[in-house]
Structure 1
């Protein structure tokens, strides 16, 4: 027998559940009704009917906040300022080459783990002015970052995980939060110290005698200094921006270098041309200086061809603010569009023999024949990648240093064998499969 008290409790629970479901259903129907024109347009487009559930605006900064941060950060990444940091890039690249001595002759070593430590040290030093020394300490950033991007991809492509209350109970959230906490715990004390030091400088106070005097590139390059100049920026915003830069800036460059090493092993004649160019410019031992970089014409073409075949940020999404007429269809304002850079970069309509590795596609006369949007590894327009000049400079110096020390080999026999997986960025499904031999 069910007592009247138990029945009453059951009745109240049922009422609450039904009320919540009804409220959600009403809200969702209204959500869809306000976007009914999107479904009308979607019938006219080839492919499955688009049925958006919830937006994912939380993945990106809002336009007003983004504009404010972009304005503050952009000056830290122009050529003039970056060139003052070439000494830092060179120092860390030389350390990277020394670290690689430990894996000479070892096939299929984890190149990504070694590379991410170098790029993580670099992004922290050059963009934030702080030392983390993960190369020296051989930290586990490679595993952490790879797992973080895998989880971000997992959430992105499962729309129910866009709902915070669903994601809150996901095991992956706990793993991701743990990774974020490790990164935050590593950077937080260093950034907080810099935050205090910078505020003292601005107030005219002398820094503690134990703090080393910063050189010119450290004073001018770090974006933290640029952000701290704005009194409206909170320390929390600085911390969040720092973690985002550290994660995105190091992972993308490291992954791109892994692709590039595999391609250099696959095409030894290209690798030899880069080596000869570096010997002509630098000789066997001299470190790279800023005035050397514009002379690395062939190396830059190789890097760009690598980015054409393997654009790291391969999936791009944008919100449409006004109707776009494509001829047979109209993309309506308020909708979102996603496109795959691999499709653009390997489209035979724009590229002859698209899977052929040919750095000469980026000779000036060849570039002039193509629409600029046929090659957009760093995206296009006002919301393009802020650090594209940084990435190219970084890769040039690392390649210039490593290729003079080692010959690079790979087990891959063709570009077709180099399968990729999407973990927010693209990565080699089976790893770079490279090994190194000393040149001397």
Structure 2
């Protein structure tokens, strides 16, 4: 009887403790279920009762065109589902889109598939941490810093052109995608780490770091499309997860080694390095907040990996799509060549002062980014309830903005499939909504490195058209492929001959 009394007391006590928790969870589930029913009542393309819209997410050319069509069929928003219970609200209205981009809402759940790689850096962080880091890193992209990178871009571009000269001499076509990726990675390694010890363009696949960068960027999208891999513990046990974490080990070890080496140099040099230019790692190591606190080694690694992630494949895609556009639009290519020769005027390099003079090349790059935005989608997660013209969206809702579809919307861009650089003339830009063209996102969470990327692309294009005529291989089919980056599914085969 004595023991039974204790059991009763334990049971009552447990019930009193657990009941409020149970009530809270049940209340949350009921609220979520009602919200899910509400989302199912909103505009949505036809979907499978179990799989939702997963079968439509093939990422190829058909899906690219489908998403563009949905922007016309659903002028405000529509809901897509990963299976029966994972909703995603796609914003199609320009005004609703602007509302989301003007906010500092954190990134959507999908981006957290990247967290083991890039950590809680600028891309993924939110709130006070994001605000402080953004403020601390902004000086690193000041024009005085970017100016010092111009000789580096020129140097790597000369290496690229010398390699391409061999293809030109032989008259053979080649896949520009592979070279563009190595080219931008070379530049980033030199600008981020002052790493001149290796050349990605020359060594190609001989560097473990280069191989890891190439492999790791493909994996998060494969994981996203396979829901059983969404839980971390399952993914880590899978072959894909082991490959992902093997790449992470290589990347983090490289970064940690560079940070430790640079810290040691700073101590030996009493806080200042005798270098030709200040690289991104220097900026991170010297960054301080209002209280004089700097970043930890882990935070520095997060920001460096974020910088490498956001500045590598995206700029590479920007380069190979602009070259494809110029190859298929020879009249505009000739205008770029004429401008490059006038600005460079028989010089070997593009100078800092030359960049603002490359106006037509700049317009062509922007028009290429409209047709083929390197980052084809932006995803956010609502941190508070939101109402958009009567649509009531709850806190925690994942929101997607399809940049590519928006850039091809005929209501915003007349004759959207035509390559027309004059859309970005000074006169026409004044008439545009500032949120109509968003290859670098927009609002407070826009890409902090967009000027760096544009300078890199302008220098590359000026050099390339100055030296070569660019044509396409007519036997090769070019198709878009939606990933974290808007890729060319089968690559892009170009032919060059001396101009």
The TM-score range, normalised by the shorter chain, is 0.7 to 0.9
Given the alignment of the two structures, is residue 226 of structure 1 paired with residue 284 of structure 2, yes or no?
yes
Partner of 1:4: none
CA–CA distance in structure 2, aligned partners of residues 222 and 426 of structure 1: 26
Partner of 1:14: none
- TM-score, normalized by length of structure 1? 0.83
Q: 1:400 aligns with which of 453, 458, 462?
A: 462
Given the alignment of the two structures, is residue 196 of structure 1 paired with residue 259 of structure 2, yes or no?
no
Q: 1:102 aligns with which of 142, 166, 171?
A: 166
Q: 2:246 aligns with which of 178, 197, 202?
A: 178
CA–CA distance in structure 1, aligned partners of residues 478 and 173 of structure 2: 14
RMSD of aligned residue pairs (Cα, Å) = 2.8
- Report deviation, 1:108: 4.2
- SS for the counterpart of 1:382 is helix
CA–CA distance in structure 2, aligned partners of residues 179 and 109 of structure 1: 28
- SS for the counterpart of 1:408 is strand
Given the alignment of the two structures, is residue 214 of structure 1 paired with residue 255 of structure 2, yes or no?
no
5+ unaligned residues in a row in structure 2: which ranges? 1-21, 48-78, 88-107, 115-123
Given the alignment of the two structures, is residue 428 of structure 1 paired with residue 488 of structure 2, yes or no?
yes
CA–CA distance in structure 2, aligned partners of residues 86 and 117 of structure 1: 18
Partner of 1:437: 497
Partner of 1:266: 328
Partner of 2:134: 70
CA–CA distance in structure 1, aligned partners of residues 236 and 410 of structure 2: 44
Distance verdict in 2 for CA 1:75–1:36, change over 3 Å = farther
CA–CA distance in structure 2, aligned partners of residues 168 and 328 of structure 1: 42
- Report deviation, 1:176: 1.9
- SS for the counterpart of 1:403 is helix
- Report deviation, 1:238: 1.8
Kept in 2, the 8 Å contact 1:323–1:332? The answer is yes
Kept in 1, the 8 Å contact 2:109–2:398? The answer is no
Q: 2:199 aligns with which of 134, 154, 157?
A: 134
CA–CA distance in structure 2, aligned partners of residues 428 and 115 of structure 1: 12
- Report deviation, 1:142: 6.6
Kept in 2, the 8 Å contact 1:320–1:334? The answer is yes
Distance verdict in 2 for CA 1:277–1:235, change over 3 Å = same
- Report deviation, 1:78: 2.4
Partner of 1:10: none
Kept in 2, the 8 Å contact 1:350–1:370? The answer is no
CA–CA distance in structure 2, aligned partners of residues 232 and 372 of structure 1: 35
CA–CA distance in structure 2, aligned partners of residues 145 and 420 of structure 1: 21
Distance verdict in 2 for CA 1:27–1:223, change over 3 Å = farther
Q: 1:93 aligns with which of 145, 153, 157?
A: 157
- Report deviation, 1:250: 1.5
Residue by residue over 1:129-169, the C-alpha shift from the partner in whole angstroms, topping out at 9 and shown as x without a partner, is 33352246423277644432221111223333221111111
- SS for the counterpart of 2:335 is helix
CA–CA distance in structure 1, aligned partners of residues 373 and 24 of structure 2: 39
- TM-score, normalized by length of structure 2? 0.74
